[in-house]
Structure 1
Amino acid sequence: MSKEFEIADEFEVDATPQEVWEAVTAGTGGWLWPMEAPEPRVGGKGPFGSKVTAWDPPHHYTNRVEDVEGISEQTLNQLDYTIEPRDEGRRAWVRYVHSGIFVDDWDNQYDGANRHTEFYLHTLRQYLTRFRGRPVTAFATFDGPEASKAPDAFVTVGRALGLADDTAQGASVQVRGPKGQVLDAVVDFRNPYFLGLRTDDALIRFFGRNHWGYMVGMSVHDFAPGADAAADEDMWKGWLNGVFSQP
């Protein structure tokens, strides 16, 4: 059965309204995933078949798509960003609203979307404050193997990195990465559903989608000069598959 939903959040960030605007329109690869930039006008083409329904740079941007992925004529998805200056334009206040209609398994879909929103917006703030002025040079995203659907899979991922179960958000750590490489990182986000690691050159994100019946996922936003997306995926996907192939 279809049902409407709305997920809203707001925050202030140490970035100018223009920097936020660029991040949510043209720079999505630095914190979400790469998307086609929207046509800069109301009625223009937005990402993933959406239509731009509000375009007032750098203050208000909305895109909207109906019949998402051809699932149902009742399906609707809308993303709305409102951006206002703070501290004479040196900082920005942002309100984000994701609304629409979910069909089937509404509670599970809403819970997953709501929790993902918190993590994505946190990553946006990390991108704006920690990697300002640095273009993302490589982006990779992928899922773990079927075994990563297990109820304890996300705990297993944290332990494989060398993190204690109680290693808290904000901790500076050394983690065990691909091919035994030791990485200096900061745990910039951690809860039972998601884990974010920030290195000097990358934002590495882990998604505990096993909580919603899917495989654990990963994404790597790499800002190092000359970074290669295929190489990042090969290394980290190999690592993630290896976590779940141990006897």
Structure 2
Amino acid sequence: MSKEFEIAREFEVDATPEQMWDAITSGTGGWLWPMEFEPRQGGTGPFGSTLTNWEPPHRLTSRVEDVQGISQQTLNQIDETIEPRDDGRRSWMRYVHSGIFVDDWDNQYDGASRHTDFYLHTLREYVTHFAGRPVAFATFDGPEASMAFDAFTAVGRALGLADDTEAGARVTAHGPEGELLDAVLDFRNPYFIGLRTEGQLLRFFGRNHWGAPVGISVHDFAADADAKRDETAWRGWLNGVFAA
């Protein structure tokens, strides 16, 4: 059954409005995934959306209706407003994701709401530590076994994180092929883990909580970054966590 939803967040960040605008519209994969925008009002945006507001560097709205392949009415809109703070040295942002979910409303809303918090945290990490740097982006899902109810607990332990290690701690994480990663645990809750190294943002998604496999995204800012190499290495690591 179709039902409307709205997910709204507000925050301030140590980045200029221009840096924030570039982060959300350049589509490099620095904090989310690569996306393309036709830079004008009425232009096309990600996933076949229309840009109903294009006002750099202050307002961006993308809207898509009646998604192909879904018989019921659908609507998905993302509205982002950016205002300067401290004479333009900092920014305030309001992010509103709204629309219509057509099936399993509670589960979809819970997943979208929790993902929003993690994605926007990653945006703040990006503009604070890596803004404007070239990036190689990789993302993938784990094997079917990573859909188990305790799968994300296994991921944390495979990274070498104690169950009680909290966000903000500096850790030595266990990466692919025995590599030890000097990292900040920049985000952690039962659903997501974020690690920030000198040259990478590593994102771990406990999507097993919503009936899907665990996922990983790698945002690699190193001079020799290679998206395919990152995917191969971390996919092998994730498969190894759930090997029989």
Q: TM-score normalised by the shorter chain: which range applies?
A: over 0.9
Matched, 1:171 2:169: yes
Cα displacement string for residues 62-106 of structure 1 (whole angstroms, at most 9, x for unaligned residues) = 000112243235111001100000000000000000000001100
Take 1:76 and 1:198, find their aligned partners in 2: how far apart are those partners?
34
Matching of residues 1-247 of structure 1 within 5 Å: 1-36=1-36, 38-136=37-135, 138-245=136-243, 247=244
Take 2:242 and 2:97, find their aligned partners in 1: how far apart are those partners?
34
Q: CA RMSD in A?
A: 0.9
Which amino acid in 2 is paired with 1:11?
F
CA contact 1:84–1:92 (8 Å) conserved in 2: yes
Take 1:55 and 1:210, find their aligned partners in 2: how far apart are those partners?
36
Select between 27-36 and 122-131 the one with higher mean Cα deviation: 27-36
SS at match of 2:119: helix
Cα displacement string for residues 81-136 of structure 1 (whole angstroms, at most 9, x for unaligned residues) = 00000000000000000000001100000000000000000000000001123221
**TM-score (structure 1 length as normaliser):** 0.97
- The runs of at least 4 aligned residues of structure 1 exceeding 4 Å deviation read none
Which amino acid in 2 is paired with 1:167?
T
Cα displacement string for residues 28-68 of structure 1 (whole angstroms, at most 9, x for unaligned residues) = 510010011x1121111111100000011100000001122
Take 2:28 and 2:224, find their aligned partners in 1: how far apart are those partners?
19
- In structure 1, runs of 5+ residues without a counterpart are none
Which amino acid in 2 is paired with 1:10?
E
Take 2:189 and 2:72, find their aligned partners in 1: how far apart are those partners?
36
- In structure 2, runs of 5+ residues without a counterpart are none
CA contact 2:8–2:97 (8 Å) conserved in 1: yes
**TM-score (structure 2 length as normaliser):** 0.98
CA contact 2:72–2:102 (8 Å) conserved in 1: no
Which amino acid in 1 is paired with 2:236?
G
Q: 1:15 to 1:27 in 2, by over 3 A?
A: farther
Which amino acid in 2 is paired with 1:158?
G
SS at match of 1:100: strand
Cα displacement string for residues 158-181 of structure 1 (whole angstroms, at most 9, x for unaligned residues) = 000110000100000001110011
Q: CA deviation at 1:192?
A: 0.4
SS at match of 1:30: coil
CA contact 1:66–1:73 (8 Å) conserved in 2: no
CA contact 1:194–1:206 (8 Å) conserved in 2: yes
Take 1:156 and 1:220, find their aligned partners in 2: how far apart are those partners?
19
SS at match of 1:11: strand
